[in-house]
Amino acid sequence: MHTVWKGAISFGLVHVPVKMFAAVEDRDIALRLIHRECGGPIAYVRTCKNCGKEVGGEEIAKGYEYEKGRYVLFDKDELDALAEETSKTIRILDFVDMGEIDPIYFQRSYYLAPDQAGAGAYGLLLEAMRRTGRIGIASVAIRSKGSLAAVRFVGNCLVLETIAWPDEVRPVAQVPGLPERTAVNEKELEMAAMLIDHLTGPFEPEKYRDAYRERLMEAIQAKIAGEEVHIAPAQERTNVIDLMAALQASLEAAGAAKAGPATTADKGAAGAGKRSAAAGAQAAEAAAGGQGGAGRRSGSGRKTAAKKKEPVP
């Protein structure tokens, strides 16, 4: 792993020398901008909007626009001096319960490893946090940007999570179009709760896939091999749905998925279950794509058609 920061954790008068490593890596597939005419990659050139000249790095300063077209300028040394106090220290300000922090505050995760002769103090802090069930709230500067952070542990490793400052999180009250608390149909609520129970299980991150990245990589390999790539457009759905039909179909589909492979003794029952789940899925699709009762009639017609096609035992 590449070290992205070196410094120390400070709590009270205790200093813990640490090295920081990115805990998450970006696996997105990078696509360059290409000139269609000649096939060359597009380059970005820094130019001055005022005089139109191309500007080199040594000629660039940073500035704050305090009025339209008027700036105050800062050199790198000035900005570094402002960040000096927290640039090499993760200063723990308080200890809190992890459950008190809403996940909306979390931004990016970093692993912290002991540096130099800091293993003893590192282990002491980790074990004290484990025993008390508390995590640290700290201030830190990474790449000259000051940030609030949470220091917690995963197994035998300390982890720093940068978190948003309070004034960076927008209040929920600002979200437009939120519905008022309204009465919920009890039957629909029961079926929704049943569906949640059917889909509830332990968090297993390895079972989730980045389907878009897989499709993009397949398309890239196909183009490298000289094949044409044809992708069928996704079918649009309307927002008019029959909740009961959609919930029922979802429950049947979830039940069929959890049932697993059938034994020889219950092949007949499994076949009937598959037909029922397929009919339910068709009903949900009709309800989502159609208009109210028309969608339900279409789903009912599909069920009847499906029953007529069943082989005679």
Per-residue pLDDT in tens (0 to 9) along the chain, 313 residues: 889 899 999 988 888 999 999 999 888 898 999 998 888 999 888 999 889 899 988 889 899 999 998 999 998 888 877 776 556 889 999 999 989 999 999 999 999 999 988 899 999 999 999 999 999 999 998 877 888 999 999 999 999 999 999 999 999 989 998 888 778 888 888 888 888 888 888 988 888 888 888 888 888 888 888 877 666 666 666 555 677 787 778 877 777 766 655 444 444 444 444 444 444 444 444 444 443 443 444 344 444 434 444 444 3
Burial environment of residue 260 by CB neighbours within 10 A (0 to 12, 13 to 18, 19 or more):
exposed
- Cβ count within 10 A of residue 146: 14
- For 153, the token pair is 């542990």
CA atoms within 13 A on the CB side of 39: 0
Report the candidate in 239, 240, 219, 217 with the shortest Cα–Cα distance to residue 230: 219
Q: Tell me the domain boundaries of the chain.
A: 3-25+81-167, 186-194+238-313
Question: What are the two backbone dihedrals, phi and then psi, of residue 101, each rounded to the nearest 5 degrees?
Answer: -95, 120
Contact 149, 137 (CB under 8 A): yes
Report the candidate in 165, 291, 264, 219 with the shortest Cα–Cα distance to residue 31: 219
Give the type of residue at 84: E
Q: Which CATH number fits domain 3-25+81-167: 3.40.50.620, 3.20.20.105, 3.90.1580.10, 2.40.290.10?
A: 2.40.290.10
